C-alpha cells in the first residue's frame, strides 16, 4: 500500500468529492465516512464501534524510526499539518482499514519540550501518549497515567564517550575515575540514580545538554553525553562533520536502570472507559510493530518526508532511519523480551523499576502518589500474547 502525503491545508471536501474519494455524507448524501474522507471497506478489525472516530496519539519527540509502529498505522494519503507538526489519516492494520482515523502528533520541540503527561492533561483530545515509566512515577500524584503497550522492550538511552580520549573506559561506571563532564537533559532522574548509586560523581553531571552536538564536539573528546544507541552513534560518525568518528557507549538499561521508554499510555482515570477500545487497539499496535520491524522501507520514507515538512530544525536522513531500524533489531531494543509476545511488560522488571524510581524521586523530594506501584504504572490487560516477532 503506497502512502502519498498530502498537506492538510490542500485537502477540501469539494476536491475529494470531485475525485469520488469520500462517501455521500461528506458531499451531501446519506452514507458515513471517516473524518479524513476515507470510505473504504472495514477489514477484520473494526474499531469504529468502540474507539473514538479519530485516535490522537502524542509522541515524545520528532518523527523517528523508534516511532515506526505508529506511522505504520497510517493508511492511504495521510494529511500533514506542518504548522501543528502532526499527520492524520485512516487507521490501517496489516493493509486493512479499521473504520477510524489516527492522528500522530510530534513531541519535543513541537510541544515546547513539555512532558507528555502535562500535554495529555491539558488537551483532552489526546487519546494516548508516549510516557517514559520514570515520568509515570514522577507525575503519579498530579497527572497519573498508565502504560498499556511497550513499543520498546529495552530503553535506547545511553551515555557515550570518545574511545580515543578514554581507551580505558568500557562502561559508564569507568567514566567516574576520568572526571569527565556528562552532558544530559536537566531533569532526567536517571542521572540522580547514577550519582546516588556512586556510579558517577555528582560533580560530573552537566544538565546543559540541548540535543545539539555542539558541546560534545567543542569538548574535543573530553566530555561524555547522553543519547539514543539507535541514533547518536551513527549521527556523530556519519552526519556531524566536525566529529566524524566512532563513539563508544553503554545503555542505561545495562547498568541497572530498567525503565520502559515511551510507553503508550492513557490517563489513569480513563482506563476503564477506554478498555473496550484498548482491547482491540493494543493488539493493532502490537501488529503494527511486527509489521514495521519486518518491512520498514515505506514507513521510513514517510517519516523522513514529514520530518522535512515539519522543519523544526531536526534532520532525519533515510540512512539514519535504516540504521536505527537495524540497530533496534540487533540490540533487542524492539523485541519479544523473555517470552514470545511483543509489547508486554515483565512483572519482575516492573517491580524492580518502581522501587528504584521511588528511591530516586524520594531523594529529590518529589511527592508521589501514595499508592504508586507496578499496578498503577503499567498493565498487560490488553496485550494479545499470541502476537510477537518471529
- Domain C-terminal end among 230, 255, 280: 255
If asked whether residues 128 and 170 sit together in one domain, one would say no
Look-up of cell digits 474499531:
47
* pLDDT exceeds cutoff 60 at 220: yes
* pLDDT exceeds cutoff 60 at 26: no
If asked whether residues 32 and 126 sit together in one domain, one would say yes
* Residue with the larger pLDDT of the pair 20 and 127: 127
**Grid coordinates belonging to 300:** 521510513
- Domain C-terminal end among 223, 255, 287: 255
If asked whether residues 91 and 25 sit together in one domain, one would say yes
**Grid coordinates belonging to 284:** 493493532
- With a pLDDT cut of 70, the percent of the chain lying above it is 92
Q: What is the pLDDT of residue 33?
A: 56
62 falls within a domain: yes
- Domain C-terminal end among 255, 279, 304: 255
Distances (CA, A) of 382 to 231, 244, 296: 30, 45, 25
1 falls within a domain: no
**Grid coordinates belonging to 150:** 511497550
291 DSSP assignment: H
Q: What is the pLDDT of residue 379?
A: 98
If asked whether residues 54 and 162 sit together in one domain, one would say no
140 DSSP assignment: T
| Nearest residue to 130 via CA among 84, 64, 81 | 64
Q: What is the pLDDT of residue 31?
A: 31
387 falls within a domain: no
212 falls within a domain: yes
121 falls within a domain: yes
Q: What is the pLDDT of residue 81?
A: 98
Among 13-27, 104-118, 191-205, name the one with the lowest average pLDDT.
13-27
Q: With the C-alpha atoms ordered 357, 118, 204, 245, is the resulting torsion angle positive or negative?
A: positive
If asked whether residues 44 and 149 sit together in one domain, one would say yes
The parent domain of residue 167 ranges over 157-255
Strands of 205-206's sheet in order across: 205-206, 182-183, 224-228, 157-161, 248-251
Distance CA 325, CA 255 (A): 23
The pLDDT confidence band at residue 35, using thresholds 50, 70 and 90, is confident
Average pLDDT over residues 207-235: 96
**Grid coordinates belonging to 144:** 497519573
Look-up of cell digits 536522513:
317
Distance CA 95, CA 42 (A): 11
pLDDT tens digit string along 135-167? 999 999 999 999 999 999 999 999 999 999 999
38 falls within a domain: yes
Q: What CATH number is given to the structural domain containing 187?
A: 3.40.190
Q: What CATH number is given to the structural domain containing 140?
A: 3.40.190.10
Number of domains in the chain: 2
53 falls within a domain: yes
Q: With the C-alpha atoms ordered 235, 238, 240, 244, is the resulting torsion angle positive or negative?
A: positive
If asked whether residues 161 and 234 sit together in one domain, one would say yes
Q: What is the pLDDT of residue 25?
A: 33
Widest distance between CA atoms in the chain: 73
218 falls within a domain: yes
pLDDT tens digit string along 68-99? 999 999 999 999 999 999 999 999 999 999 99
Look-up of cell digits 473494526:
46
User: What 3-state class would DSSP assign to 164?
Assistant: coil
Q: What ranges in the chain are assigned the alpha helix state H?
A: 13-19, 68-71, 116-122, 133-138, 175-178, 189-196, 214-218, 232-238, 275-294, 297-310, 318-330, 347-364, 374-377
pLDDT tens digit string along 55-72? 999 999 999 999 999 999
Is 49:100 a contact under the CB 8 Å cutoff?
no
pLDDT tens digit string along 284-303? 999 999 999 999 999 999 99
* Residue with the larger pLDDT of the pair 20 and 106: 106
User: What 3-state class would DSSP assign to 22?
Assistant: coil
If asked whether residues 114 and 18 sit together in one domain, one would say yes
If asked whether residues 266 and 312 sit together in one domain, one would say yes
If asked whether residues 12 and 126 sit together in one domain, one would say yes
If asked whether residues 132 and 58 sit together in one domain, one would say yes
If asked whether residues 271 and 149 sit together in one domain, one would say yes
* pLDDT exceeds cutoff 80 at 22: no
If asked whether residues 143 and 174 sit together in one domain, one would say no
Amino acid at each position: 500500500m503506497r502512502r502519498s502525503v498530502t498537506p492538510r491545508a490542500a485537502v477540501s471536501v469539494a476536491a475529494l468529492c470531485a475525485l469520488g474519494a469520500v462517501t455521500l455524507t461528506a458531499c451531501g448524501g446519506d452514507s458515513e465516512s471517516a473524518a479524513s474522507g476515507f470510505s473504504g471497506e472495514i477489514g477484520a478489525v473494526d474499531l469504529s464501534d468502540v474507539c473514538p472516530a479519530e485516535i490522537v496519539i502524542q509522541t515524545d519527540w520528532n518523527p523517528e524510526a523508534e516511532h515506526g509502529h505508529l506511522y505504520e498505522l497510517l493508511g492511504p494519503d495521510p494529511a500533514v499539518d506542518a504548522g501543528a507538526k502532526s499527520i492524520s489519516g485512516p487507521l490501517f492494520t496489516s493493509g486493512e482499514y479499521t473504520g477510524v482515523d489516527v492522528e500522530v502528533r510530534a513531541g519535543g520541540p513541537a510541544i515546547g519540550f513539555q512532558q507528555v503527561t502535562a500535554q495529555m492533561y491539558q488537551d483532552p483530545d489526546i487519546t494516548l501518549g508516549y510516557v517514559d515509566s520514570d515520568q509515570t512515577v514522577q507525575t503519579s500524584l498530579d497527572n497519573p497515567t498508565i502504560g498499556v503497550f511497550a513499543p520498546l522492550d529495552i530503553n535506547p538511552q545511553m551515555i557515550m564517550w570518545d574511545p580515543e580520549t578514554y581507551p580505558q573506559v568500557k562502561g559508564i561506571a569507568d567514566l567516574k575515575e576520568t572526571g569527565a563532564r556528562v552532558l544530559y537533559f536537566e531533569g532526567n532522574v536517571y542521572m540522580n540514580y547514577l550519582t546516588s548509586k556512586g556510579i558517577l560523581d555528582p560533580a560530573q553531571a552537566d544538565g546543559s545538554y540541548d540535543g545539539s552536538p555542539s558541546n560534545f564536539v567543542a569538548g574535543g573528546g573530553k566530555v561524555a553525553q547522553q543519547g539514543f544507541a539507535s541514533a547518536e552513534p551513527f549521527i556523530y560518525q556519519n552526519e556531524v562533520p566536525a566529529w566524524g568518528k566512532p563513539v563508544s557507549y553503554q545503555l542505561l538499561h545495562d547498568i541497572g536502570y530498567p525503565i520502559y521508554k515511551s510507553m503508550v499510555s492513557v490517563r489513569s482515570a480513563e482506563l476503564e472507559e477506554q478498555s473496550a477500545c484498548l482491547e482491540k487497539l493494543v493488539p493493532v499496535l502490537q501488529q503494527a510493530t511486527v509489521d514495521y520491524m519486518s518491512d520498514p522501507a515505506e514507513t521510513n520514507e514517510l517519516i523522513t518526508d514529514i520530518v522535512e515538512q515539519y522543519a523544526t530544525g531536526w534532520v532525519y536522513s533515510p540512512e539514519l532511519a535504516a540504521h536505527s531500524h537495524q540497530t533496534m533489531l540487533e540490540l533487542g531494543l524492539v523485541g519479544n523480551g523473555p517470552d514470545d509476545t511483543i509489547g508486554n511488560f515483565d512483572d519482575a522488571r516492573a517491580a524492580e523499576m518502581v522501587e528504584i524510581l521511588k528511591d530516586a524521586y524520594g531523594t529529590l523530594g518529589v511527592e508521589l502518589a501514595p499508592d504508586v506501584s507496578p499496578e498503577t504504572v503499567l498493565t498487560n490487560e490488553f496485550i494479545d500474547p499470541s502476537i510477537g516477532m518471529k
